[in-house]
Amino acid sequence: MDPIVRMNDITMAYRGVPAVKNVDFDLREGEIHALLGENGAGKSTLTKVMAGVVEPTGGSMSYRGKVVKFASPHEALQAGIAMVFQETSLVPSMSVAQNLYLGAESFLNRLRGTNIAAQQFLQSLNFPVDPTAMVETLGAAKRQMVEIARAVHHEARVIIFDEPTAALTPEEKRHFFALLRRLKARGVSIVFISHALEEALLLADRITILRDGELVATGPTADFDRDKIIAAMVGRTLSGSLYRKRDTASLRKPGRKVLSVQDISMGKMVRNTSFSIFEGQVTGVFGLIGSGRTETFKIVAGIYKRDFNRGGTITLDDKPVRYYTPAEAVRGGIAYVTEDRKSEGIFETMSIGENMFGGLLAAGGEQGLVIRSRSVRELAEEWTGRLNIKTINADARVVELSGGNQQKVVIGKGLVQKPRIVIFDEPTRGVDVAAIAEIHQIINDLADQGLAVVMISSYLPEISNLSDRILVCRQGRIVEELSPAEATEEKIMYAAVH
Amino acid sequence: MGGNAWTILRSLNQERIVLVVAVLIFGAAVIALPGFFTSANLISIVRSISVLGILALGMSVVIIGRGIDLSMVAVMAMSIAWYLQLLGDGMTEHSALLLVLGGVLAIGLLNGILVAYAEVPAIFVTLASGSFVFGYVRSQLITSDAVPVPTGHWVELLGGLRLAGIPVEVYLFAVLSGAVFLFLRFTKWGRYVYYAGDNPVAARNIGIPVRPMLVLRYVLSALIAFAAGLLTAASLHSINTRIVNSTLLYDIVLVAVIGGIGLAGGKGGVRNVLVGAALIGIMLNAMTIIDISLLYQNLIKSTILLFAIIIDGLLNPRDEQTAQQGDI
């Protein structure tokens, strides 16, 4: 039987950096196909190409035997390919029924008629959702049902789920799996992206594994088991000094304990997590997206506030602290280098020097209210040299720099504050290869200078090669501590997936 | 190609363009309009520029920090009206001034706290507080639309004060411009305005006290509005509260935006206010001499404001780098 979707030699590059390289992918009629891989392996990109969200830079795709090229998600939906997004695309302030028919309303429509039609439709799918309820009042599972109902309503023949179970409780997951089976029975083909390997093994007919944008394994589920999948997900070829293997002797010994976190909680994102950070070493924090790793360390940096009641305790130098603003954390010597430099890291219309100067000012580096403008230029010169920031001229606006150089500016902005604890959150995301090596060097140097360095990353080679100890985060807490000497990438991944 | 012309347009400095246009209009008016290039008229130009410019200084500090203060004109007119009313009712100079300054501070604080801590959009907060100030003062605290300055009072004397033939407002505008320039350029808190305007989240993350600084800016703009009100009352010997319903507020925004202070925040300074005020002041004066009716003056001004905002939106987009990082 011919596959319903066939992707040939698909390549997708963002600004020259390929996220997916020469991937061939088949989806058969009426199958559940699991797409697995680490964060950044290219799963989302591949499915976005399929659903017309992005146009591939190379390769072709055929749907129902015909070559197609979707210019927009709308076109793909018209043809019968729907994508249910990780972040749901519902309108929170509208009712379930209105959301179901969003974009497909007749010119004149009555609310009552819409509600009745929605009611009947939801019942036919066996979804216990009230069509008149506002979407904002629904839980994650019901929202997802509405999303799915919308896809089915458009008579989608192919439905793509991006991390569908991340927000669901075990009970809701069971309902969701039953639904997938029902959809399958109706002849709908399903692609689902997941970090939960058990789900894939349980549900899927076939499994495809991507790594670093390339397809590494594909086949019937019966050919795979948990260990095989993990090996395929992480088993990259070790190339160059970037991916050297560490032995016990090369690990830095922990210095003084500077930060101790006990049982901190914040809503559902961070649950009762405890750990310590030591001077003079790199503490690697590994976790998949949604594991609460960023939130945990944003609490440490004063950006988020932990729960007021039973929020746990944070001790810095044996003194309990509770920060209400990042300014207090900065004064305490904690610098946080964000994972999202565009929206919360750089001042894009300003020069490198002004960016650095902001960090200095905020840390109280300039005494008194009056500042000297000379120091901006000095700072720019000093830090472009120290961090090897490449720029055409010193007055260039940061927005004009490449991703790697912007990242160095964000790092410099933190370092200029002379912190004792530096938290790097995904320090090499969206950064070119040459800059990755340089940023790794910066991180190593800081630890050698005796600073307490925390590096959050979802990139395994980065974790195992830079860390002197590894914390693994899962479902809002640090679940395991490993030593890089003994931890294989398989072991780390095993602890991080549930 | 269009792309080429675009680069040229972007590389041009808005401040310089506006300055050139202002000089051109000035030259054209000198040649074409009898009675324009007389000392009396020139003084009246600088006088009108002064009050407008002072208000625009306050507005600009707020706009650079990615906010807007639409309550300025109401605060300006109503605080002075209340002050003059109190004096007229026989209150002592001392207590009247203290009371009114307290009120002005309270409005600035209210604006700032609502914007910074309650996170209500500035445009709505200040629109509402402005009309509240107008309504409350007009109905409860003063008895008529226009309140005169008591004879012999220092505000009246201020209006007649001239140094070397130039009215005192001009000096005050110059002094305030210098003060705001020094504040923005050379003080820590002034620099914070730019960081918070460029990227408030990043500013907070590196430890800048973003929220207290926001409150400070609205307090500052309220105080500047009060000062502008004093000068208005000084030159007219009374304050007419109907000015709140005039287009003065739009003139202030116009001065700031046309001078090159981007509504997206983080850009501009005192120089931009000066060129903006020069252009608008000359233009308004020329239009009055040509005897264009107020109706058409407003139409012309609003058209210019509309275009200035569109061009500002193109030159200073809020989101320069739409390409998404990561999420591969």
In the predicted model, is pLDDT for residue A189 greater than 80?
Answer: yes
Summarize pLDDT for B32-88 with one digit per residue, the tens: 888 888 888 888 888 888 999 999 999 999 999 999 999 999 999 999 999 999 988
Least confident of A82-91, B112-121, B154-163, B230-239: A82-91
Of A44, A301, A350, which has the smallest distance from its Cβ to B327's Cβ? A44
In the predicted model, is pLDDT for residue A237 greater than 50?
Answer: no
Half-sphere CA count of A83, side-chain side, radius 13 A: 24
In the predicted model, is pLDDT for residue A18 greater than 80?
Answer: no
Residue with more model confidence, A94 or A139? A94
Global pTM reads 0.75
Instruction: Quickly state the pLDDT bin for A240 (edges 50, 70, 90).
Output: very low
What pLDDT, on a 0 to 100 scale, did the predictor assign at position A148? 79
What pLDDT, on a 0 to 100 scale, did the predictor assign at position B324? 32
Please report residues of A whose CB lies closer than 8 A to that of B192. Answer: 361
Average pLDDT in the B266-275 region? 88
What pLDDT, on a 0 to 100 scale, did the predictor assign at position B101? 95
CA closest to A419 among chain B residues = B206
What pLDDT, on a 0 to 100 scale, did the predictor assign at position B177? 94
Q: How far is B11 from chain A (nearest CA, A)?
A: 13
| B152 within 8 A of B28, measured Cβ to Cβ | no
Residue with more model confidence, B225 or B3? B225
What pLDDT, on a 0 to 100 scale, did the predictor assign at position A308? 86
Of A44, A327, A348, which has the smallest distance from its Cβ to B208's Cβ? A327
In the predicted model, is pLDDT for residue A192 greater than 70?
Answer: yes
SS (H, E, C) B250-281: HHHHHHHHHHCCCCCCCCCCHHHHHHHHHHHH
Residues A367, A369, A375, A377, CA torsion sign:
positive
Report which of B49, B55, B63 is spatially closest to residue B229, judged by C-alpha positions: B55
In the predicted model, is pLDDT for residue A188 greater than 70?
Answer: yes
Please report residues of A whose CB lies closer than 8 A to that of B205. Answer: 301, 303, 326, 336, 338, 344-345
B321/A contact by beta carbon, under 8 A? yes
Summarize pLDDT for A25-62 with one digit per residue, the tens: 989 988 999 998 876 678 888 888 888 888 888 888 98
The label of the residue with tokens 């003063």 reads B142
**Domains in chain B: ranges and CATH:** 39-312 (1.10.3470)
What pLDDT, on a 0 to 100 scale, did the predictor assign at position A107? 65
* DSSP H or E run through A425: strand A421-425
Residues 411-450 of chain A whose Cβ lies under 8 A from any Cβ of chain B: 413-414, 417, 426, 429-430
Number of A:B CB contacts under 8 A?
116
Least confident of A195-209, A406-420, B50-64: A195-209
In the predicted model, is pLDDT for residue B321 greater than 50?
Answer: no
Q: How many CB atoms lie within 10 A of CB A375?
A: 17
CA closest to B201 among chain A residues = A344
In the predicted model, is pLDDT for residue A15 greater than 80?
Answer: no
Instruction: Quickly state the pLDDT bin for B328 (edges 50, 70, 90).
Output: very low
Binary contact (B205, A327; C-beta < 8 A)? no
Summarize pLDDT for B143-196 with one digit per residue, the tens: 888 888 888 778 777 877 777 778 888 888 999 999 999 999 888 888 899 999
Least confident of A123-127, A339-343, B28-32, B210-214: A123-127
Binary contact (A345, B202; C-beta < 8 A)? yes
In the predicted model, is pLDDT for residue B320 greater than 50?
Answer: no
What pLDDT, on a 0 to 100 scale, did the predictor assign at position A77? 83
Report which of B47, B27, B32 is spatially closest to residue B235, judged by C-alpha positions: B47
* B-interface mutation test, from A325, A328, A360, A374, most B Cβ less than 10 A away: A325
Amino acid letter, residue B33 = L
Average pLDDT in the A271-287 region? 91
Binary contact (B205, A326; C-beta < 8 A)? yes
* DSSP H or E run through A385: helix A374-387
Query: Cα–Cα–Cα angle for B302, B124, B226, nearest 5°?
Result: 75
Instruction: Quickly state the pLDDT bin for B107 (edges 50, 70, 90).
Output: very high
Share of chain B above pLDDT 70, in %: 92
Q: Mean of the per-residue pLDDT values for chain A?
A: 83
What pLDDT, on a 0 to 100 scale, did the predictor assign at position A362? 86
Alpha-carbon distance of A488 to A496, in angstroms, equals 13
Alpha-carbon distance of A397 to B308, in angstroms, equals 24
In the predicted model, is pLDDT for residue B259 greater than 60?
Answer: yes
**Domains in chain A: ranges and CATH:** 5-234 (3.40.50.300), 243-333+420-496 (3.40.50.300), 347-418 (no CATH)
